[in-house]
Amino acid sequence: MTLDASAAEYVIDVANAVREPALGGERAADLTRLEGLLGALAEFARDPAVQVYAITDRSLLTDGRLTADERQRLDRWYRDGLLEVLPRADDRILELADALELRVVSADNFLDFHRAYPWIPGNRDRFLRPFALPDGRLGVRPRIMPVAPEWEVSRKEEEGLLLEAGVYRRWAPSAHRSVLSRDWRCPEPGCPLFGAGDRPSNALPRRRRDKVLCPTHGLPLTDAGPRPRRAQVKVVMDGTVRGRFMVTAGEPLAVGRAPADGGVALGAWIDDAAVDSVSRTHVVLRYEGTGLTVVDERSANGTRVRRVRPTGDELLPLHRGTVWKLRRGDSIVLHDRLELLPSGRQFVFEEDVTDGTVGPWQTGAGADPTMLSVPRQWHEVGRADGRDDEHQ
């Protein structure tokens, strides 16, 4: 192992290997898997002195599933300059792979970085997967990286954000719901994230041990009650995300060119060729806490649902008055060039409406960025009273 990036040929995701039971052993975390992997790489490269750059999440050094001796060895490698230790290793692994064209050894699909590194989806030569041989030894082989649907990328990005904030814990994957389903208030007067008492906070708190903290002031937050469940929907025009809006549980939301009774006005993104095909109130969306439904109540030219299938996308007609429950990956087609795409995120924080290319048929860089520590930037895509909000 070396931290001389210019000498390394491979970058190893250490925590991913050590915590992978499929690589042998009876324990959930076992350092001998890394030792077996190093031997497998030497055999794969046909070089007993092959140089590898090893990176791990900091949590591995305190993982109670490792023995005390294994934790001490990891700490010694870290202090001797053989192992890079970071709060979260994935970004650094891909940074090295991108800058130096190192091959990555990991079973991770890195879905939350597909937008930042658009060369990952479908890549056939930059990633290796460890696997167990019948004789108990380990091997490595090239792998083809998946091209994931947009909702899976969004979901994985969300998990990464929660990990960084300390809210999500891999050993207790549902524990974060107790934090994210509540409204929080900061004791610091005028806190831009958790200080306003007239609306629920949309910022992401930090979690350290059993305390929920303000990321700006570091103070413990006060529980102000349950937070309403919401779903995020993206407005996609010509394959580009033009904006986002929220659907709150129990509050039906009309969407169209300019809904007369309030709602989300899409007219700002519809050019002269498309405007006649989208009705003033085209569809009504509802979120019941488990998923979104859509109903076409009175559109003039109809609505379709795009459903992604292994054999190719299918466009299904949405008959007027029929309530349609959307599945993951479904999008609502209002016009050949205009779709409403539910996000894969389970929780909604502060949104940045920066445009990006995205759709159920492709993944684009920068399509779903999220700002976690800035005042609220997004309320609705447009106004039904004819005034369009300015988008940042």
User: Quick one: the chain helix, strand, coil %, rounded to 5?
Assistant: 20, 25, 55
Distance separating alpha carbons of residues 215 and 192, to the nearest angstrom: 11
Work out the angle at residue 69's Cα, subtended by the Cα atoms of residues 68 and 71, and round it to the nearest 5 degrees: 65
What would you report as the CA-atom Rg of the chain, rounded to the nearest whole angstrom? 24
The torsion angles phi and psi of 251, rounded to 5 degrees, stand at -125, 95
Give the single-character DSSP code of 221.
P
Looking at residue 236, what is its pLDDT? 85
Looking at residue 20, what is its pLDDT? 92
For the CA atoms of 135, 140, 141, 144, the dihedral, rounded to the nearest 10 degrees, stands at 120
Distance separating alpha carbons of residues 334 and 299, to the nearest angstrom: 9
Closest to 53 in 3D by CA, of 4, 89, 125: 4
Distance separating alpha carbons of residues 87 and 330, to the nearest angstrom: 35
For the CA atoms of 209, 215, 218, 222, the dihedral, rounded to the nearest 10 degrees, stands at -80
H or E segment and range at residue 233: strand 230-237
For CA atoms 82, 116, 204, 163, give the dihedral sign.
negative
Strand order, beta sheet including 240-248:
314-318, 303-307, 331-335, 338-342, 230-237, 240-248, 356-357
Looking at residue 373, what is its pLDDT? 25
The torsion angles phi and psi of 58, rounded to 5 degrees, stand at -60, -30
Which CATH number is correct for 230-357, 3.30.1360.120, 2.60.40.10, 2.60.200.20, 1.10.3720.10?
Answer: 2.60.200.20
The torsion angles phi and psi of 371, rounded to 5 degrees, stand at -95, 125
What are the sequence ranges of the domains in the chain? 10-142, 150-226, 230-357
Distance separating alpha carbons of residues 84 and 239, to the nearest angstrom: 39
DSSP reduced 3-state for 39: helix
Name the CATH topology of 10-142.
Rossmann fold (3.40.50)
Give the single-character DSSP code of 62.
G
**pLDDT tens by residue, 126-136:** 999 999 999 98
**pLDDT tens by residue, 277-335:** 888 899 999 998 678 999 998 888 899 999 988 787 889 999 999 999 998 888 999 98
For the CA atoms of 338, 145, 172, 21, the dihedral, rounded to the nearest 10 degrees, stands at 160
Closest to 234 in 3D by CA, of 220, 247, 251, 221: 247
The b/e string for 44-53 (b: 16+ C-beta within 10 A; e otherwise) is: bbeeeeebbb
Distance separating alpha carbons of residues 352 and 100, to the nearest angstrom: 31
pLDDT (tens place) for every residue of the chain, 392 residues total = 888 776 788 999 999 999 999 998 889 999 999 999 999 999 998 878 788 999 998 889 999 999 999 999 999 999 888 898 988 888 888 888 888 888 999 998 888 888 888 898 999 989 999 999 999 899 999 999 988 777 776 777 666 666 665 555 554 445 556 777 788 888 888 777 787 655 555 667 777 777 888 877 888 888 888 877 888 888 888 887 777 788 888 889 999 988 877 788 887 776 767 767 888 899 999 998 678 999 998 888 899 999 988 787 889 999 999 999 998 888 999 988 899 988 766 554 443 333 333 333 232 333 333 322 222 222 333 333 333 322 22
